[in-house]
Structure 1
Amino acid sequence: MATVKEAEEGQALLPKSTATAAAPSKHLGLPSVLVAGIAYCCASGSMVLLNKHALASFGFSAPSALLCFQCALAALLVKLCEVFGWVKLQPLKWDLVSVWFPVNLIFVGMIGTSFYALKEVGVGMVTVWKNLSNVVTAMGDVFIYKRSYTWPVWGCLGLMLASAVVGASTDSRFTWSGYSWQIANCFFTSAYALYLRSVMDKVAEHTTNKQKVYYNNLLSIPPILAMMWYFGEFEGLTQQAALRNNTFLLVSAMGGIIGFGISFSSLWFLSQTTATIYSLVGALNKIPVAIVGLVAFAEPTNPKNLASIVIGLGAGVLFTRVKSK
């Protein structure tokens, strides 16, 4: 996951003035990129399972409201870090907001479509279809950043695409609505990885990763409120039975805390690798999440469904092997 070759490729996306040779930094005696990748995998996997539990087990029908709460809680946690002196936040400035706000719009689209997809699509199929974002991200790397890939790489991406198609065709709970949200999520995920790469280079001199987490979550609240209004979630929100369920409130709070962790870890990890590897590691991490989801939520499956997961995992491992060479 953290080879010298990948580090060199990651530097190719940086401006020439910042792509200078430097010794790899370490945390806890391990390469920083490895620690960042592990933190990102743990946070993202846990959040998928918690949000699926919150949306599927308590009858809560306002995904955007749940997302708004989690973003607000994550921003509040960063402010608490400032109170305790662990981080220093800079005042919001218009020039920084103008650069960062498009990231928030893509971020809200990515997380929002994920929430709506999780309402209708099982965890197993959501994780399989996440692989499609690798295909879109790789194409973005080629057309935007002028990167090139060999035919074995495209072959692996083709296997990922095949696993998604096979999985959808054998999904007994297939709905056009659910899979439309999931397809939209793939494009938002790729756009987030590709665009955030360039934006982070622009604001790197002015903000730290913790500050980016704060701005990302705080500036996401207005567009999420707009989504709540558009989907009519304000009506009857206070009458949701789940809001009077202490277990639901606990699960939602844990999701907000992990949202803080995933915001920080994703920014940290993406700053040390390429958009394609960032997206790939996220997809690989979804394989164990899919298995846990199938068991924990008793999702109906069959041999073809399981085969699609195996194909996705095999393609991801092969992709990583090819990239490391």
Structure 2
Amino acid sequence: MTVVNKYVVSGDSWNLNLFYLAIQAIVCTGTITLCKQMGLIRDLAPFDKDKARKWFPISVLLVGMIYTGTKALQYLSVPVYTIFKNLTIIVIAYGEVLWFGGSVSPLALLSFGLMVLSSVVAAWADIQSALTSNPVTGDAVSAMSTLNAGYAWMGLNVFCSASYVLAMKKVIKKMNFKDWDTMYYNNLLTIPVLIVLSLLAEDWSRPNLERNFPIESRNSLLVGMVYSGFAAIFISYCSAWCIRVTSSTTYSMVGALNKLPIAISGLIFFSAPITFGSVSAIFLGFVSAAVDEREFSQ
């Protein structure tokens, strides 16, 4: 899904992130509703206004997480995005210490240190790549400006993601939500928020729509949007299940193991520069996740 998101939002003229996320939520919610009517999903409770009201703040946090994520992905390469995403684990871990009385072991601290180091190496490699751009044409200045915007959105995404995961863990326990309930309310309640924000903040003029959906890539973009909605179903279900039965930190740390294949796919599909710095950052990020996994399997 990360690779598809990068493909959709990476165009120079793309500026309909909220609309794209609304399409994802609509596809996901529509599919869940259809499966329930066909009898494929049996443990999804009927819609409850009181539950929706209590869950709505979680959906707002979800909007913040997915929007800042797509904005960061728009400016950063897939490998750098996935490496910096690991920093969310540190925020979640200390959030659990404050909210749920957890603790951070020495092995976890070692893993956190490796995560920070991998992010520093990734940033250094990115900056070096930007500085080696042609200074005569102003490419270096433009590249640095793009990186700064990407890092700013990435920083917001880290805190939005941590807030969402921690809050969802707390509310799931309080409301005794099942996994399908979590998925359904999460996606359903984000639809009106995303549509309203898109209508208010995004340019819906015909020329802008034509820039975002050029004829030569229009069909592939639409297919990518629909596919990402279906992928969101599986991601949402697995995430809800994992958060419900484990700690938020464990969920994040296990999820960090997907960073290696995602980073490699970014190098393959988007021709991200393969340098010693970028490869070292990916390796350090994977080692930090492996250390975390070892810690939580003991």
Residues 122-175 of structure 1 deviation map (CA, whole Å, 9 limit, x = unaligned): 000000001100110111011111111222211211110111122112203552
Q: Which runs of 4+ in 1 moved over 4 A?
A: none
Which one of 155, 159, 166 corresponds to residue 121 of structure 2? Answer: 166
Q: Is contact 1:242-1:248 (8 Å) kept? A: yes
Q: Is contact 1:71-1:218 (8 Å) kept? A: yes
242 and 265 in structure 1: CA distance in 2 versus 1, 3 angstrom threshold: same
Aligned-partner SS, 1:149: coil
190 and 70 in structure 1: CA distance in 2 versus 1, 3 angstrom threshold: same
In the comparison of the two structures, how many residue pairs are matched? 277
Residues 43-69 of structure 1 deviation map (CA, whole Å, 9 limit, x = unaligned): xxxx10111112225953311111111
Instruction: Using the aligned pairs only, state the percent identity.
Output: 31
CA distance in 2, matches of 1:286, 1:74: 24
Q: Is contact 1:132-1:186 (8 Å) kept? A: yes
CA distance in 2, matches of 1:81, 1:58: 37
Structure 2: unaligned runs, 5 residues or longer: 130-142
1:291 deviation in Å? 0.7
In the alignment, is residue 105 of structure 1 matched against residue 105 of structure 2? no
Q: Aligned letter for 1:56?
A: S
Aligned-partner SS, 2:245: coil
1:269 deviation in Å? 1.7
1:180 deviation in Å? 0.8
- 1:77 alignment counterpart: 31
Q: Aligned letter for 2:202?
A: G
CA distance in 2, matches of 1:177, 1:150: 34
1:241 deviation in Å? 5.0
- 2:133 alignment counterpart: none
CA distance in 1, matches of 2:68, 2:186: 17
In the alignment, is residue 218 of structure 1 matched against residue 188 of structure 2? yes
1:234 deviation in Å? 3.0
In the alignment, is residue 127 of structure 1 matched against residue 82 of structure 2? yes
CA distance in 1, matches of 2:213, 2:168: 35
**Taking structure 2 as the reference length, what is the TM-score of the superposition?**
0.87
Residues 165-184 of structure 1 aligned to structure 2 (within 5 Å): 165-171=120-126, 172=129, 173-174=143-144, 175-184=147-156
Residues 279-320 of structure 1 deviation map (CA, whole Å, 9 limit, x = unaligned): 112222122110111111001232112111111111111122
CA distance in 1, matches of 2:205, 2:233: 28
Q: Is contact 1:114-1:185 (8 Å) kept? A: yes
Residues 30-49 of structure 1 aligned to structure 2 (within 5 Å): 47-49=1-3
**Normalized per residue, which structure has more helix?**
2
Which one of 97, 100, 104 corresponds to residue 149 of structure 1? Answer: 104
Aligned-partner SS, 2:257: helix
- 1:265 alignment counterpart: 238
Q: Is contact 1:59-1:242 (8 Å) kept? A: no
Q: Is contact 2:259-2:286 (8 Å) kept? A: no
In the alignment, is residue 280 of structure 1 matched against residue 253 of structure 2? yes
1:94 deviation in Å? 3.1
**Taking structure 1 as the reference length, what is the TM-score of the superposition?**
0.80
CA distance in 1, matches of 2:272, 2:95: 34
Q: Aligned letter for 1:216?
A: N
Of stretches 310-319 and 234-243 in structure 1, the one that deviates more from structure 2 is 234-243
1:99 deviation in Å? 1.6
Q: Is contact 2:15-2:202 (8 Å) kept? A: no
